[in-house]
Each structure stands twice: as C-alpha cells, then as structure tokens.
Amino acid sequence: MSDPTRPKGPKIIAVANQKGGVGKTTTAINLAAALVEEGERVLVVDLDPQGNASTGLGIDVEDRALTTYDLLLDDAELSDVILSTEKQGMWIIPATVDLSSADIELISNEKRSFLLHDALRQPAIDAYELDYILIDCPPSLNLLTVNAMIAAHSVLIPLQSEFFALEGLSQLMLTVREVRQTANPKLRIEGVVLTMFDARNNLSQQVEQDARDNLGNLVFDTKIPRNVRVSEAPSFAQPVLDYDPTSKGAEAYRELAREVLAKQMKIAA
C-alpha cells in the first residue's frame, strides 16, 4: 500500500530505441542537462552495458564501484549507487559492462521485470527531491529495456533522420503496447525526437514528413541537428550544454527540455 505522507515521486522517462547509433545516450544526458538548466533536479540511470552515459557525464570506470547491476541484482542501497555529477542538480547511477550479463541472471528471478520499478520507488529516493529520472536504455528490446518501461511513466524515442528510420519503430511501439497491457497500463509515449537532422538534406526532410504523417503530434517540434559540437562533447566527458553552450546542438536540447516541461504542465493541468 502506498504511503500518502510520502512526497510525489519524480517523473520517470525511459529514453529508448532498439537501434544503435540514433543519439539515444546523447539525448538522455543532454536533455537531463537542459532540464537542470531549467531548475529541475534530475537523475540519469545508465541501463546500457556500454556505460556511455556514465562516461559522457564524467564518471570514470574506476569510480563505478557500484552500478545499476548492483541495484538490480544485488539489492544495493540507492544511496550507494547514486553518484553526483559535476553539474549541480544532476546525479547518475552508472553502468559498466557487468550489466551485459544481467538478462541471463534475471531470468530466474520471479520479479525480474519489476526490479528497476521497485528500486526507483524506495523511500530513500525522496532525499534527492528529484523532478525527473531519465533512463538510458540499451540498444535492444531486452529484459533491461522492459524493466525501464515498467519503471517509467513514459518513453521518449530518438529517431535518426536516415533511411529506414521508421522501420524499427513499429517493433518498439509493439513492445510499449505489450508492457501497457501486461505490467504498466499508464505507460505512454512521451514523444519522438528527430536526431542528426540536416535541414539541407532532402532525406532528413522526407524522414520528418513521414514521421509526422505516421505519428502526428507524437513527434516533437524540436529537431536535434547534426552538429559537430554534440559529437565532440562526450570525449570531454561533458554534456554539449557545458562543452559549447551556444552551439546549435545545445540550443536544440534546451528547446526539447522546454517542450517536455510544457507537455508535463499540460498533463498536470
């Protein structure tokens, strides 16, 4: 039974796309940074065994003593796995390659699909006074991604502005529908954001048109441009908003954050 005296928990968004290289991790860390700039308190959960979100936010591998693996499989305390980042108001639960074996190890666990859901709703999370939790999902529709969708209130889908971009989307939508029917009836699509968009490129414009024709209002107005500063930022272990605050990429993620916040206010109203 839920405790009516507990504060309302943070909004949880899973950033997911089973296709790799679509800007999923880039979107997770830069949207988080942009939300922080808007005054929100944000936790990033790195659920990808590659650990790129952790690296992109400046967490060295040797500093990842406890990770999402320990949170899911070893019942680690939240306070032990949540690390501060250099950006005030932003925290991360890091990941390492250990997480790659989690799918196999989770199979024998009766609550395997709800482990992240339960972990992120422990009373200990209240101390951080979070507004948002962004989950960076692995590039596959595996048990980790299902955990993220069951834990989340919504799914944000980065869609690369390239040929065949929409092809894999149907499988992702199907998975969202299945999770809705079986485990998380309130799960919704936060939106689809076009990434690596080049306005000079006819193909980018065609992908946008197809996406809007097929998905309508689910597609965010904001488009994330193909921008060298966005690509460079992770190698400096920073969000692009810190690496080059005035770049087109940084401005685009600020716009996306404002769209996400506006949508949230509309739902709350």
Please name the helix (run of DSSP H) or strand (run of DSSP E) that holds residue 134, with its range, or none. Answer: strand 132-136
91-127 pLDDT tens trace:
999 999 999 988 888 888 878 899 999 999 999 999 9
pLDDT at 1: 46
Cβ density class 15-42: b for 16+ within 10 Å, e for less: bbbbbeebbbbbbbbbbbbbbbbeebbb
Q: Residue 7: is its pLDDT beyond 70?
A: no
Among residues 133, 106, 103, 136, which one has the least CA distance to residue 121?
Answer: 133
232-265 pLDDT tens trace:
999 999 999 999 999 999 999 999 999 999 988 8
DSSP letter for 245, please. T
Q: Residue 218: is its pLDDT beyond 70?
A: yes
Secondary structure percentages of the chain, helix, strand, coil, to 5? 45, 15, 35
Ordered by where they begin, the domains of the chain are 11-268 (3.40.50.300)
59-93 pLDDT tens trace:
999 999 999 999 999 989 999 999 999 999 999 99
Average pLDDT for 32-37: 98
pLDDT at 2: 53
Burial (CB count <10 Å: 0-12, 13-18, 19+), residue 14: buried
Q: Higher confidence at residue 186 or residue 162?
A: 186
Q: Higher confidence at residue 268 or residue 209?
A: 209
Q: Which two tokens stand for residue 206?
A: 């065609």
